[in-house]
């Protein structure tokens, strides 16, 4: 297996064995964080971070990851670089990508929400960069997927179902566990990237998957279909429900998070305020202790930032079965592993 120069835009693009290789290396890196085995991997080398959208956690974890591998992550906000949908003069992705490939050893891109004119535009831009770049392109969350979050999720859940938090574990322990991905209300208009990646990676690693949301909050049909197929291939079931409680029954992992409706993008615009207004109308869609009691002693997971009081109660988010900080920490280790495998020759 050779992942050198591979792009990572969605975990569904990679083989399960390749994803396991990332988690295996991430576990080793977590166990012995500053070992000389890793600290020269990117020495004197640059990872370019393009943030079309700002992000505190993704920025911190990627920049720390590059530093811990001995390299440097450049923080870039491409205000001056037009999307190809814009009508003004500007540099083409063809030109930008080819020059960046001469300077750097990897490129991460984050683009979603108000920075895209329609669902899928961020994915198109990332894949256009990947087409022209001779260096690996890594999604740092875009409108469709968030592969680094998905890998950190799986790593965190596996730790909790293995020897416990802090103990690296093989994602094999997830096989047969039930994952509930449920919509949460709130004054937000969050992207589909994290939840869709969770559905995909959970089902790839053999989890039984349940998806719950109010009517009108369907996710991308392609992702739902892939999730069904992944479940079927592993002999597991996939269910979708609009009942706020049904999915909790016998769940082992509860993932409660807000996401925007399919109506968020219309006429080339992002209708943020409309989504925010709409999302407050379902106060029963909150993960609380009463619903968690229906589960099989499930852990609570969330990619953060958590909208406490809307997506989940404080009692659950700060409770003894919350794995949110472990998952957040794993962003660092997973990203170090991805960078090491794709940006450095073995």
List of residues contacting its own copies (CB under 8 A): 34, 39, 43-46, 48, 54-57, 59-61, 63-64, 67-68, 70-72, 74-76, 78-81, 88-92, 94-96, 98-100, 102-104, 186-188, 304-308, 310, 318, 324-325, 328-329, 332
Q: How far is the CB of 33 from its own copies (least distance, A)?
A: 9
**Residue placing its CB nearer to its own copies in the complex, 93 or 292:** 93
Q: Which residues, including other chains, have CB under 8 Å from residue 308's CB and lie 6 or more apart?
A: 314, 317
Q: Which residues, including other chains, have CB under 8 Å from residue 267's CB and lie 6 or more apart?
A: none
**Residue placing its CB nearer to its own copies in the complex, 181 or 324:** 324
Q: How far is the CB of 333 from its own copies (least distance, A)?
A: 10
Q: How far is the CB of 340 from its own copies (least distance, A)?
A: 14
**Residue placing its CB nearer to its own copies in the complex, 63 or 220:** 63
Q: How far is the CB of 56 from its own copies (least distance, A)?
A: 6
CB 157 within 8 A of CB 178: no
- Element housing 212 (H / E): strand 208-212
Q: How far is the CB of 143 from its own copies (least distance, A)?
A: 18
For residue 88, the number of C-alpha atoms closer than 13 Å in the C-beta half-sphere is 6
Name the β-bridge partners of 238.
209
DSSP annotation of 28 reads: H
Which pairing describes strands 72-76 and 299-301: parallel, antiparallel, or unpaired? unpaired
**Residue placing its CB nearer to its own copies in the complex, 1 or 56:** 56
**Residue placing its CB nearer to its own copies in the complex, 102 or 281:** 102
**Residue placing its CB nearer to its own copies in the complex, 100 or 201:** 100
Q: How far is the CB of 115 from its own copies (least distance, A)?
A: 14
Q: How far is the CB of 176 from its own copies (least distance, A)?
A: 29
**Residue placing its CB nearer to its own copies in the complex, 90 or 319:** 90
**What three-state secondary structure class fits 307?**
coil
For residue 247, the number of C-alpha atoms closer than 13 Å in the C-beta half-sphere is 26
Q: How far is the CB of 325 from its own copies (least distance, A)?
A: 5
How far apart (Å, rounded) are the C-alpha atoms in residues 338 and 176?
A: 26
Burial 131-152 (b: 16+ CB within 10 A, else e): ebbebbbbbbbbbbbbbbbbbb
Q: How far is the CB of 89 from its own copies (least distance, A)?
A: 5
- Element housing 148 (H / E): helix 147-161
**Residue placing its CB nearer to its own copies in the complex, 98 or 284:** 98
Maximum pairwise Cα distance, the chain: 57
Helix-then-strand count for the chain, H and E: 11, 11
216: tokens are 């009108």
Whose structure tokens read 């859940």? 157
Name the β-bridge partners of 265.
270
**Residue placing its CB nearer to its own copies in the complex, 252 or 333:** 333
């Amino acid at each position: 297996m050779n992942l050198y120069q591979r792009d990572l835009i969605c975990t569904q693009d990679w083989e399960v064995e390749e994803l396991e290789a990332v988690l295996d290396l991430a576990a080793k890196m977590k166990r012995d964080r500053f070992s000389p085995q890793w600290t020269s991997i990117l020495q004197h080398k640059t990872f370019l971070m393009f943030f079309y959208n700002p992000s505190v956690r993704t920025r911190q974890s990627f920049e720390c990851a590059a530093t811990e591998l001995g390299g440097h992550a450049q923080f870039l906000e491409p205000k001056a670089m037009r999307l190809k949908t814009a009508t003004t003069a500007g540099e083409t992705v063809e030109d930008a990508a080819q020059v960046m490939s001469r300077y750097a050893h990897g490129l991460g891109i984050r683009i979603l929400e108000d920075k895209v004119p329609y669902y899928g535009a961020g994915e198109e831009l990332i894949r256009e960069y990947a087409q022209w770049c001779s260096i690996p392109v890594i999604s740092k969350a875009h409108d469709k997927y968030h592969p680094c979050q998905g890998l950190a999720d799986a790593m965190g859940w596996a730790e909790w179902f293995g020897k416990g938090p802090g103990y690296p574990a093989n994602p094999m322990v997830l096989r047969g566990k039930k994952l509930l991905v449920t919509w949460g209300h709130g004054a937000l208009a969050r992207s589909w990237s994290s939840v869709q990646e969770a559905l995909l990676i959970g089902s790839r690693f053999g989890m039984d998957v349940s998806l719950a949301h109010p009517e009108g909050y369907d996710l991308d049909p392609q992702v739902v279909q892939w999730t069904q197929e992944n479940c079927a291939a592993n002999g597991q079931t996939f269910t979708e429900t609009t009942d706020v409680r049904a999915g909790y029954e016998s769940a082992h992992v509860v993932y409660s998070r807000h996401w925007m409706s399919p109506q968020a993008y219309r006429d080339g615009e992002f209708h943020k305020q409309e989504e925010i207004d709409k999302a407050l109308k379902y106060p029963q869609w909150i993960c609380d202790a009463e619903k968690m009691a229906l589960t099989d002693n499930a852990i609570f997971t969330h990619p953060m930032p958590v909208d406490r009081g809307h997506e989940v109660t404080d009692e659950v988010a700060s409770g003894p079965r919350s794995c949110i900080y472990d998952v957040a920490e794993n962003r660092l280790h997973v990203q170090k592993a991805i960078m090491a495998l794709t940006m450095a020759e073995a």
